[in-house]
Chain A
Amino acid sequence: MARSTTALRVITDPRPPPVLPSAVLGMLIFVIAEVMLFAGLISGFLILKASASVLGSWPPPGQPRLPVEETAFNTLALLTSGLMLWRAQRAFADSHARALRPLAIAIALGAFFVLFQGYEWVMMIGQGLTLTSSNHGSFFYLIVGLHAVHAVAGLALLSWTWGRLRGGFLAGSSFAAAQVFWFFVVGLWPILYLLVYA
């Protein structure tokens, strides 16, 4: 009776590692496209705001005031989330297990940001600011809502990253790509806050 034997061969790649992992490069290109999407919306909003300001009617009459102070607090939560992700990245370089806690805090703070935004939206709709109530409302929900969609996608990505890290099989390049996306979400928000809320 013939016995089959399986030979295990270790294949090593003689090529040097890439200067930039494909996951990170792909995410950077995606983020560049997203930046242009937001730049287009911001441009439209700025022109509308400037044109309406000439007529002395910005924000449009009868529209509620945006919650500037509450959102400033929420902005702080999101910035802290970015800071915790940066700490997770530093911890990841030393020991993968040590990155779990700061990454979990970053996800929790990001989730808080999204939930608080949702609460604010409910309040604003209750006060009469809707997608169709004015140009102000249309741009507010479009720009802030699009950012919220990105924040939710980023949270899903970070949660997936956390699960892989906990299981002990997270690739450094995957973590770096997730960081690029979340830093984009965090970095974009203060710009939107200053332009839309101020």
Chain B
Amino acid sequence: MSRSTLSTAVALLCGALLPEAATACAVCYGGGEESRNAFILTTVLLSVLPLAMIGSLGWWIWRRVREAEAGDAPSRGAG
């Protein structure tokens, strides 16, 4: 392996390792573990929260409808 090839390979290797330490975008000025965890946590929160709330509301209404139908069924049968 020539000296220039080796230098290029080392430079590429260093370049490949750099993004770990570099900030990903202009607003991510803290590239630490805590910052990364905050991004992951808030992404999960904002993704799951609306689904959980709408799902819970739908499930709760569905249960109330079923309870109401179950309550109506005997009286309809008797009538």
Contact = CB atoms under 8 A, between A and B. Distances in A.
Interface stretch (A44-52, A94-102, A121-129): A44-52
A194 interface: no
Contacts of B45: 39, 42-43
A46 B38 contact: yes
A198 interface: no
Contacts of B34: 50-51, 53-54
B50 interface: yes
B68 A19 contact: yes
A20 interface: yes
Contact of B61 (A19, A32, A36, A53): A19
Given A16-B68, A19-B61, A47 B35 contact: yes
* Size category of the binding interface on chain B: 20 to 34
Interface string B1-44: 00000000000000000000000000011111011011101100
Interface of A is mostly: helix
Given A19-B61, A54-B30, A47 B53 contact: no
A36 B49 contact: yes
B1 to A, nearest CB: 40
Contacts of B68: 16, 19
Max chain B CB contacts within 10 Å: which of A25, A49, A50?
A50
Contacts of B73: none
A35 B49 contact: yes
A46 B38 CA distance: 6
Contact of A40 (B39, B46, B54): B46
A55 B46 contact: no
Contacts of A144: none
Nearest to A49: B38
B43 to A, nearest CB: 8
B49 A50 contact: no
5 contacts: A19-B68, A36-B50, A40-B46, A46-B41, A51-B35
Interface of A: 16, 19-20, 25, 28-29, 32, 35-36, 39-40, 42-43, 46-47, 49-55
Interface of B: 28-32, 34-35, 37-39, 41-42, 45-46, 49-50, 53-54, 57, 61, 64-65, 67-68, 72
